[in-house]
Amino acid sequence: MAQILDPLPPNSGDAILCCYVNATSKVQIARICNIPNWYFERVVFPGQRLVFETMPEAVLEIHSGMMASAILSDKIPCDRLRVNDEPQPETAPTQKQHEQDKDKNTKWEGIRKNVEKTPILTTPALAGVS
């Protein structure tokens, strides 16, 4: 992942991909301060997902607050925010999985038949209570 604004220091060999989600209703500031010669700070809006690249030893600080004040509310080691960015190998379904899928389809067919046989009600239901 390219970080055009703040590229990682040249001596950072094993960068990891991380993801942080602001699950609050407040605007937050995400900051990494413990990596020498590197500045990382982003505004994270409520519900926003922040995906970034950093070193495994980095610590993400989350600052939240109102207007001109900011309070350090959390420190998260970035190795806990790591995203598995390796592609997952596709595996062919096994015979057991085929049988389970067939059983599921059979169950749904029975439910569909019962729904089709259910008569439609033509009389109105209770419309209101006085």
Residues 19-64: tens digit of each pLDDT: 999 999 999 999 999 988 888 999 999 999 999 999 999 999 999 9
Judge whether residue 66 has pLDDT over 50. Answer: yes
Whose structure tokens read 């500031």?
29
Does the CA dihedral 31-79-18-11 come out positive or negative?
A: positive
Residue 86 lies in a domain: no
pLDDT at 65: 80
Query: What's the domain range around 26?
Result: 16-80
Closest CA to 65 of 93, 43, 94: 43
Question: In the structure encoding, which two tokens stand for residue 41, read together?
Answer: 């700070």
Residue 22 lies in a domain: yes
Residue 20 lies in a domain: yes
Closest CA to 55 of 30, 73, 33: 33
Q: Are 42 and 19 in contact (CB under 8 A)?
A: no
Residue 106 lies in a domain: no
* 24 phi, psi to nearest 5 deg: -100, 180
Residue 47 lies in a domain: yes
Mean pLDDT of the chain: 77
pLDDT at 38: 87
Q: How many domains does the chain have?
A: 1
Is the pTM higher than 0.85? The answer reads: no
